[in-house]
Amino acid sequence: MKGPDDRGRFGPYGGAFVPEVLVPELRFLQEAFNSAWADEAFRARYHRILKDFVGRPTPLTFASRLTLALGGARIYLKREDLCHTGAHKVNNAVGQILLARRMGKARIIAETGAGQHGVATATVAARFGLECTVHMGVEDMRRQRLNVDRMRLLGAEVRPATSGTRTLKDATNEAIRDWVSHPRESYYLIGSVVGPHPYPVMVRTFHRIIGDEAKRQLIDAEGRNSPDMAIACVGGGSNAIGLFFPFLVDRSVRLVGVEAAGEGLDRRHAATLSCGTPGVLHGALSYLLQDSEGQVQPAHSISAGLDYPGVGPEHAFLKDLGRVEYVTATDREALDAVKLLSRTEGIIPALETAHAIAALMRMAPDMAVEQVIVLNCSGRGDKDMNIISKEDVAI
Ligand SMILES: *Cc1c(COP(=O)(O)O)cnc(C)c1O
């Protein structure tokens, strides 16, 4: 269950499908990560920065009015929206930048879609004084102007990707090309549990703090160390695996991942696990939105962070095992969920997070009042206010 094996396989998924020149680089990375994570001093530094810079531990908030409104299980929110920069992504960025420094790298490369991972990376690069290049599709740069300005203010270079649909998939191709051209001095900082081995296991390790904290906090709140259900949205799958990981071995915990159904599963969507088929994208074998010729299909979601045609290989394996249930929520349902959480709890969630809330709205009422749900509140919604007010739900 814990995986991966030493070739980076989660069952049949994962692995490392990369150009020859990157094979030794991935081996160095694997060795550096193993030695760092075994080193007490490295872990202490990582935890200290999470505390002093990120603001951890994040609270586990009992959502009393949401619980009342849905009339079923008791709902707790794991407040990753309160992390510095407004989402869980910074946990992983901190871990990987410490690793990059330990490896003696001078320069960070990242890709970004909506700009959230780019902002988290530019933030830690500034904090540790490393040079930073963020690849971003020109279409995304146009849609996410504010994040482009943020990254530049933080001292990062934002490099426009002009190929293909000019979005995340193309930015990722450019980032990989950049890494292939400068493997020695550069560190490629991947933003989710995707990419070639060892990235999925490394990013999971830097995010499991979410589930580890929730477990401890539940003891104080409810006198028990596991919920009946844990639920999170799934783009690449990092906030979900971060919450789920400590509960994977405990079969009594129902785990639910929520993908973006966009305009509906028969129209444009980003429901990779629900509707995709296995294939290789960005260095790993996993589920993928592709046509019958293996051409990657563009994904669509109202939330830019879920708008990716791939998904982490561990989720592919957990789906096949039946250990995690993967369900979907549409753009419309996500907008309704933003409104509900805002008005019942005084928390405006990110549109990504809202997909998990939408699924929760369907599931919680069928559960018993003494049951407990933990929902990963992966990010705050300020970044999405343009879209939310355009859709008129806030009024
Ligand atoms: C990026 C993002 C996600 C999706 O990424 P995962 O790797 O699936 O967690 C979810 N929520 C927020 C707030 C994000 O910024």
pLDDT at 395: 47
Ranges 139-153, 276-290, 380-394: which has the least confidence? 380-394
pLDDT at 144: 87
Across the chain, mean pLDDT equals 96
Number of domains in the chain: 2
**Is residue 72 domain-shared with residue 101, that is, in the same domain?**
no
What's the pLDDT band for 3 if we cut at 50, 70, 90? confident
End residue of a domain, out of 203, 219, 254: 203
Determine the distance separating the centroid of ligand 1 and the alpha carbon of 68, expressed in angstroms.
27
Q: Which of 357, 378, 383 is the best mutation target for the ligand 1 pocket, counting ligand atoms within 8 Å of the beta carbon and taking the most?
A: 378
Q: Is the pLDDT of residue 394 over 90?
A: no
pLDDT at 60: 98
Q: Is residue 342 part of a domain?
A: yes
Mean pLDDT, rounded, for 22-47: 98
∠ CA(253), CA(259), CA(265), 5° rounding?
130
**Is residue 60 domain-shared with residue 186, that is, in the same domain?**
no
**Is residue 240 domain-shared with residue 378, that is, in the same domain?**
yes
Q: Is the pLDDT of residue 393 over 60?
A: no
Ligand 1 binding pocket (C-beta < 6 A) is 87, 89, 116, 192, 233-240, 305-306, 350, 352-353, 378-379
Closest C-alpha residue for ligand 1 atom 7: 238
CATH code of residue 106: 3.40.50.1100
Count the helix, strand and coil residues of the chain and give each as a percent rounded to the nearest 5.
Answer: 45, 20, 35
Q: Which of 190, 306, 357 is the best mutation target for the ligand 1 pocket, counting ligand atoms within 8 Å of the beta carbon and taking the most?
A: 306
Q: Is residue 231 part of a domain?
A: yes
Q: Are 355 and 377 in contact (CB under 8 A)?
A: no
**Is residue 67 domain-shared with residue 96, that is, in the same domain?**
no
Q: Is residue 172 part of a domain?
A: yes
Q: Is residue 6 part of a domain?
A: no
What's the pLDDT band for 165 if we cut at 50, 70, 90? confident
**Is residue 131 domain-shared with residue 234, that is, in the same domain?**
no
Closest C-alpha residue for ligand 1 atom 4: 235
Q: Which atom of ligand 1 is nearest to the CA of 117?
A: 1
**Is residue 306 domain-shared with residue 370, that is, in the same domain?**
yes
The single residue listed with the structure tokens 């999405």 is 384
Enumerate the active-site residues.
Answer: 89, 111, 378
Determine the distance separating the centroid of ligand 1 and the alpha carbon of 20, expressed in angstroms.
30
Q: Is residue 225 part of a domain?
A: yes
Contacts of 101 (CB under 8 A, 6+ apart): 128, 130
Q: Which atom of ligand 1 is nearest to the CA of 194?
A: 7
Q: Which atom of ligand 1 is nearest to the CA of 350?
A: 13
Q: Which of 82, 89, 117 is the best mutation target for the ligand 1 pocket, counting ligand atoms within 8 Å of the beta carbon and taking the most?
A: 89
Query: How confident is the model over 341-357, as pLDDT tens digits?
Result: 999 999 999 999 999 99
Mean pLDDT, rounded, for 53-61: 98
pLDDT at 143: 82
- Cα–Cα distance measured from residue 312 to residue 104, given in angstroms and rounded to the nearest whole number: 28
Contacts of 136 (CB under 8 A, 6+ apart): 111, 112, 113, 115, 118, 144, 148, 158, 159, 160, 161, 171
End residue of a domain, out of 203, 233, 268: 203
Q: Is the pLDDT of residue 392 over 80?
A: no
**Is residue 297 domain-shared with residue 364, that is, in the same domain?**
yes
Q: Is the pLDDT of residue 9 over 70?
A: yes
Domain of residue 112: give its range.
Answer: 19-50+89-203
Query: How confident is the model over 61-103, as pLDDT tens digits?
Result: 999 999 999 999 999 999 999 999 999 999 999 999 999 999 9
Q: Is residue 12 part of a domain?
A: no
**Is residue 383 domain-shared with residue 241, that is, in the same domain?**
yes
**Is residue 29 domain-shared with residue 80, that is, in the same domain?**
no
Q: Which atom of ligand 1 is nearest to the CA of 380?
A: 13
Determine the distance separating the centroid of ligand 1 and the alpha carbon of 222, expressed in angstroms.
27
Closest C-alpha residue for ligand 1 atom 2: 305
Q: Are 331 and 302 in contact (CB under 8 A)?
A: yes
| Range list of β-strands (E), the chain | 9-10, 13-14, 60-62, 74-79, 107-112, 131-137, 157-161, 186-188, 229-233, 254-262, 277-281, 284-288, 324-330, 372-377
**Is residue 384 domain-shared with residue 362, that is, in the same domain?**
yes
Q: Is residue 374 part of a domain?
A: yes
Determine the distance separating the centroid of ligand 1 and the alpha carbon of 171, expressed in angstroms.
17
End residue of a domain, out of 161, 179, 203: 203
Determine the distance separating the centroid of ligand 1 and the alpha carbon of 363, expressed in angstroms.
21
Closest C-alpha residue for ligand 1 atom 1: 305
Contacts of 157 (CB under 8 A, 6+ apart): 132, 133, 134
**Is residue 273 domain-shared with residue 285, that is, in the same domain?**
yes
Q: Is residue 14 part of a domain?
A: no
Ranges 1-10, 152-161, 225-234, 256-265: which has the least confidence? 1-10
pLDDT over 90 for what percent of the chain?
92
Ranges 99-108, 301-310, 324-333, 371-380: which has the least confidence? 301-310
**Is residue 59 domain-shared with residue 169, that is, in the same domain?**
no
